[in-house]
Structure 1
Amino acid sequence: MTASTWLTLLTTFTLAVISPGPDFLATLRMTLSRGRSRGIATGIGIGTGTSLWAVGTMAGVVALISRSETAFFAVRLVGAVFLAGYGIRILASLMRARTEAPSKGTDEEPAPPSSEPYPTWKAFRLGFLTTTVGNPKAVIFFTTLFASMLPPSITVLEGGALTLVMVAISSCWFTVVALAASMPAFVRGYERLHKPIDAALGGLFVILGLALIPWGTLFT
């Protein structure tokens, strides 16, 4: 590939990565609720998931999925269920915390976010699943824009190098997001307002999931 092709591909990919989406929201909430290290693990999971999209595009798998109405419908439906399900779990945890909280008067301070140990692999898994099956940005980007920009003469070595650079870009960006969200000012704000913030983020995940459902195909 020429230098201009590399620059175009990586610039376009970087702009797609930094644009807000489910991956950004997942990293943000994980960092705020579980800490910096778990937020970084989520970001690395997102970067790792990117490799599947990149390799699948270069291998022609993504093109086959985009050309098959059944396969494309299945991918979108799985992603929609994942996003909506994650949002519902967030909202359900808020409801459980509200019903289980002891009633000690209306002047009681709200409980802080959970400080229970949270496995790193679960944070990684969330990031990986968010970008592989739960990210409409990835579906649109890799099945249309990236696939059309990829030169047909790309070699295996170039494809491997491109994949590694894309994984690095994605992982680094979401690590930056996790580091920013773990700053004391953000953490203090989340500790005060974690209930409305979680409610908003949970609602956004549900909305994104519902928006990803191919309703027209579903009822035809």
Structure 2
Amino acid sequence: MHQWFLPLLAFTTAAAIFTITPGLDSVMVLRTAASDGRRAGVGAIFGIAVGLSLWGLAAAFGLTALLAASSTAFFIVKCVGAVYLVWIGANQLLRPRMALTTEAGPEQARQVEHRNAFWPGFRRGMLTDLLNPKAGIFVITFFPQFIPPATDVVAFTLVQVVIQVVLTFIWLGLLVALTVPLAQFFNRPVVVRRLDRLTGLVFIAFGAKIFLTDSPSS
């Protein structure tokens, strides 16, 4: 039996539990899929996966150690991430919409908007993940616990990144699949207003939580 099998099995089990635990990524994907459709939701998943991959690559090559070692670097990243989330949340809280999708405009324009919805979702998902320093700290503190001794750390970490990304795709993809069929319900004006305000509060809360997070070096 390969010496990596049991450590990777343990990592996959633990990572799966963390993945399905409700958090910022789940809220972001649900909100994006409900508001802008399946393409945008899938785009958000790909953006989150890219963000996770970049954090994982940084961890593999030691770059995220900067966040753990430097209070200044950690403070800058967490402030940018907190401001970004609070800005999104405040917009949804103060300016809730009457409908999740617009019915106005030519049919061709609506089709183009729908077709291009992938990239706004992608950008939102990637920025949400990259501007969350807790994601980087999670990678550099959680992943090494499963690395066996006398192992190529970079190679093992890269395998862990692939596993985490696959788990993320599976779980968030399931959320999108369950959300999109409910689009007609979500498109009711009263539901839209309440959904916008609720998710706005959630994003603001996540932003505050990130801002109040202490640097590991402090």
Which TM bucket (shorter chain)?
0.7 to 0.9
CA distance in 1, matches of 2:82, 2:12: 27
Query: How many Å separate the matches in 2 of 1:63 and 1:9?
Result: 21
1:144 alignment partner in structure 2: 141
SS at match of 1:76: helix
1:203 corresponds, among 201, 204, 208, to: 201
Which letter does structure 1 place at the counterpart of 2:42? Answer: I
Q: Does 1:180 align with 2:178?
A: yes
Between the two proteins, the alignment pairs up a number of residues equal to 199
Judge conservation of contact 1:91–1:198 (CA < 8 Å) in 2.
yes
Distance 2:139 2:157 in 1: 14
Please name the residue that 1:112 is paired with. Answer: 99
Distance (Å, rounded) in 1 between the aligned partners of 2:37 and 2:173? 12
The aligned amino acid for 1:133 is L
- Rounded to whole Å, the distance in 1 between the matches of 2:39 and 2:30 is 12
Give the Cα–Cα distance (whole angstroms) in 2 for the partners of residues 161 and 143 of structure 1.
14
List aligned pairs for 1:87-102, cutoff 5 A: 87-94=89-96, 97=97
For residue 191 of structure 1, what is the aligned residue in structure 2? Answer: 187
Look up the match of 2:81.
79
SS at match of 2:187: helix
Please give the alpha-carbon distance, in whole angstroms, between the structure 2 residues aligned to 1:135 and 1:190: 32
Percent identical residues: 28
Give the aligned partner of residue 210 of structure 2.
212
1:178/1:214 Cα in 2 relative to 1: closer, same or farther (>3 Å)?
Answer: same
Residue 36 (structure 1) aligns with? 38
Q: CA RMSD in A?
A: 2.3
Report the alpha carbon displacement of residue 169 of structure 1 after superposing the two structures with TM.
Answer: 1.8
Letter in 1 for 2:70: S
- Contact kept in structure 2, 1:22 and 1:134, CA below 8 Å: no
Instruction: Give the structure 2 partner of residue 121 of structure 1.
Output: 119
TM-score (norm 2): 0.81
